[in-house]
Structure 1
Amino acid sequence: MLAAALILALFSVSAGWILRESFQASILDRAREQLKLQMFGLIATVDYEAGQLVIPDTLADPRFNQLNSGLLATILHQGKPVWKSRSVLVEVFPDPPLSEPGQWIFRQVQDQSGKNYYQLSISVYWEEDSAATPYTFVVREWDQPYVAQIKSFENTLWVWLGGLVVAAIVLVFGLLNLGFRPFRRLASELNGVEQGRQQRIDRVYPQEVMPVVNNLNRLVEHERSMRERYKNSLGDLAHSLKTPLAVLKGLELESPQTWAQQAQTLRDQVLRMDEIVNYQLKRAISAVPQVSGQGAVLLDMYERMSKVLTKVHSDKTIQFEQDIRSGLRMPWDDGDTLEVLGNLMDNACKYGGHRVRVSGRIQGGQIRVAVEDDGPGIKDGDEDRILRRGVRRDERETGQGIGLAVVADIVSASAGTLTIERSSLGGACFLIRLPLNW
């Protein structure tokens, strides 16, 4: 706002200076024209007889006949005065410059007392009997009336310009204050979000500000989801460590003679806890889903995971099938894509029979990924329950019951949905729907 005021003031000063110079130039033009009229009147009254100029004692303009009137006239011949008006007393001026006949010379001069005059001179040749005699006619007028007009104009100009500048600055400050009012309200709402008094920015703002508001709301929601994810990760970590810790605690009850035999169990549980901690740290750090760039190719991730699960579930003859659109990319990096696909395919291998089918396509403006098995399926009413942390689809199977919850978290973070339906293979179908424009 200060910069705007300075620019406005500078512009006004520049405009004022230009107007002053223009007005001063017009005053000088008017002074020149006035002196020309006086000169024409003086020349018109002059007669030439017997080689001498004949001039009336009284001129038409009374100021020529009155001392200290400020209007003076002089006629010179070869640089020497041959006539002066009655208004000339003792004023002494520098000689007018020589000029060609008929050439007007206008300039500002000063007498011996320091008074300033506007002076107009012209050279005239008077002819008689084929002889031409040169004369220089000089008319001078005191500049004080013109200077007074310029001063009066300047005073009026700066008063008006100053008033306009003050009014414009007040108007600019008022408009800026009005324009920044939404941002002050926005800052107040952000402070409310920071203090926990409100969950998001709720007010309606001008159209130009709404994109900022929407981005801030997304940022607040993202930060809140991050905190929730950290909280869930800690809960998952605590839940996952229960079983290994219970095993280790059970070793205390063993007799010292069997401690050597339990060394492998101890190493396995410590390794398991290390894996759990590393995994949950990775999940917390990579909480931001990939929303730009290329994304992971679903078909490549499927091929990697099917090879791994074939070895893991070697006790079963699993037939993996796929109907994945070529080049279909997910809105995640390889790690999150493998996490989602791995959990769903591993569950299908555990709870299904011998067939696991993965499909991926774009339909209805969405990315749709389905993982199906030929097992007994999900009991009616259990769909929401098994997506909660710590709940296993079948308590007889090993695991911590967090796999599906992790999948749901990743999908939800990408504005997607995870639903459970009946598969055409006879078992469960876990269907992921994701926005196409990520």
Structure 2
Amino acid sequence: MQSLRRRAILGGIVWAGIAILLGGIALYYVLDGQVQRRFDDGLSDRYIQVVAALGNSSGDAELLESYLTDPLYQRPYSGRYWQIRGPDESTIVSRSLFDVLLPVAEPLSTDPETWTVQGPDGPMRGIGGLVRLEDGTNWSVSVAESLASITSERSQIRRSLLTTFALIGVLGIAATVVQTSLVLSPLNRLRQEVTRRWDRGEALEPADYPEEVAPLVSDIRALLDRNREMVERGRRQAADLAHALKTPAAILRNELDALAQSGMDVADAQTALTRVDAQLMRSLARIRAATSGADALVQTDLLNSANRMARLFRTGADGMARQFEIDVPADLRIRMDQQDLEEILGNTVENAFKWSRRTVRLTARPMPDGVELRIDDDGPGIPEESRREALRSGGRLDVSMPGTGLGLAIVSDLVAAYGGTLDLEASDLFGGLRVRIGVPAQFSPGG
């Protein structure tokens, strides 16, 4: 997992989940203990009430009941009971016990003790002790209550805690996402600023970022400055190299032309020199594309360049016998340097003119993710199994036509430098070859 955002969010969720789980368990046991203590305190209070009633009534059953007026003591199996055993082994019970006795052992101590047994309506908890009245008689007093109420209360506590902590968990996850986004926002802004400022030739300002990110910004600024210097140096060297090679090549071509006019056979040398010129053109085009605005926000008017190509080819010898159609929307701009665009158009249109019978069409359309170019001709086309060979450097499928076989290879290199695609297809307009070129609206150096 390489994303810092996903890592931070997932880590926050994991730790928040652990904290919520541990906190929920601890809180449940605290609340459960409070419920248990409250239940036991209620038992103790009722035990004291029964003991007081016993003392006031001196063991008289009818008088005893008049002191214990809780309605639950009157309803059979209500879940709340009391039981008194006298010194003569006689037993007085609440009407709620109906026809049963509490299954508890006789207390042996005057200190009340709690116990849990199975009662007439399920598990119950009670308290009992030995009570000595003023006349010296000993009485066994027991008070019990069903655990159904405490079980229900515990279930309600669990449900409430689950609902509460689920809500806390959702809010915690949302807070984690928001906090992570806020913390990482300077890095996101830095990523956007690197591309924008590189395109505009501007420098990054470390003071515009938090102090934790400022050292990274300083390093990136130094790296951008170094890269700009390297790109500029590469452009200068490419231009110098092109200038340095053109002159000797022109001299060699003039010498070969002179030798040819004197009757010498220099056809092989002229072909070799032509291929050397083409290879140099391809290499220089690749260098220029690599050091140009291939990954910048360069925009070129496509119709203007297409019209330039039309004027060039229509005035040529081949252009007089062929029809060159242009279907390009006005104001359509393509993310490509003008020189690179015109070299792409020049090579593809020249190739189409070379093989077409009468018609060549250049079509351009805006696409959701960029611009698509199509160059169609009515020539013989290229069989599907031979199209890959046509894109290979020097891949000439027919040596009867003049050329070096590098035109489409140069186009492929330039299109790839802009993150685009090049495909050779059968033309559904004229039946010949279609060259389809796609140039994305945005360039991703990593992809």
TM-score, structure 2 length as denominator? 0.44
Larger proportion of helix: 2
Larger Rg: 1
TM-score, structure 1 length as denominator? 0.45
